[in-house]
């Protein structure tokens, strides 16, 4: 299965269902603390990881901010996962968001801050962050080498892990688990759809749930 096929299949599955699928493997992949700031619907792609070390103003040279390198790593089927240590320092504003959108990024998740939210929304870029803050990262953030493991919302994210996001939240599926977890998630989604179809045909939630095995006999 190609990466494009994987993204297409995985992106059809809601985040809640992915969380249930990961539970079957005893894997915790739900990202916490991020709020959707721009974009809508569901995004899915493989992670491109970046970490920016936070500091006080003038602690780093402005060139070390290097947001251009992060934006340049954007690509179709990729989700930029940026670790700023949870600090309320902006790593991306309207122009950078426009650049990421131009390059076809599936989405951006920042465990830190963004700014110029109105401009970001105008680009249509799907972006979630811990904070919104006007404080620039120039002179306050130093970019480390791209592609290294990062911490996003309490989850360790590695380059090429699968990221799925929607209005409910964000989940990270370890790359090594994707091939095994995808059929599980699809089966869970099919079970949900079977319950819904019965309810649309007139059954109650309890009746439909028991008939499909979604609920236990007395649940």
Same structural domain, 82 and 138: yes
pLDDT, the chain, mean: 96
pLDDT at residue 217, as a whole number? 83
What pLDDT digit, counting tens, does each position of 172-183 carry? 999 999 999 999
Instruction: Please indicate whether residue 218 or residue 126 has the higher confidence score (pLDDT).
Output: 126
Same structural domain, 68 and 114: yes
What pLDDT digit, counting tens, does each position of 12-40 carry? 999 999 999 999 999 999 999 999 999 99
pLDDT at residue 133, as a whole number? 98
Same structural domain, 114 and 194: no
**Whether residue 219 has pLDDT greater than 70:** no
The parent domain of residue 200 ranges over 181-212
Q: Average pLDDT for residues 131-156, to the nearest whole number?
A: 98
Whether 12 is covered by a domain: the verdict is yes
b/e 197-212 (16+ beta carbons within 10 angstroms → b): ebeeeebeeeebbbeb
């Amino acid at each position: 299965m190609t990466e494009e096929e994987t993204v297409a299949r995985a992106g059809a599955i809601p985040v809640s269902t992915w969380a249930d699928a990961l539970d079957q493997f005893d894997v915790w992949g739900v990202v916490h603390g991020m709020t959707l700031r721009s974009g809508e619907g569901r995004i899915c792609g493989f992670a491109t990881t970046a970490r920016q070390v936070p500091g006080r103003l003038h602690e780093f040279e402005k060139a070390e901010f290097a947001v251009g390198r992060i934006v340049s790593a954007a690509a179709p089927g990729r989700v930029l996962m940026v670790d700023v240590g949870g600090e309320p320092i902006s790593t991306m504003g309207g122009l950078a968001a426009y650049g990421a959108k131009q390059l076809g990024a599936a989405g951006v998740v920042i465990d830190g801050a963004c700014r110029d939210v109105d401009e970001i929304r105008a680009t249509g870029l799907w972006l979630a962050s811990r904070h919104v803050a006007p404080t620039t990262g120039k002179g306050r953030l130093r970019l480390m080498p791209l592609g290294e493991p990062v911490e996003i919302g309490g989850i360790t994210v590695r380059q090429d892990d699968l990221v799925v996001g929607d209005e409910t939240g964000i989940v990270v599926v370890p790359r090594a688990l994707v091939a095994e977890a995808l059929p599980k998630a699809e089966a869970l989604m099919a079970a949900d759809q079977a319950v819904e179809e019965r309810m649309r045909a007139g059954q109650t939630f309890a009746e439909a749930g028991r008939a499909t095995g979604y609920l236990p006999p007395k649940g």
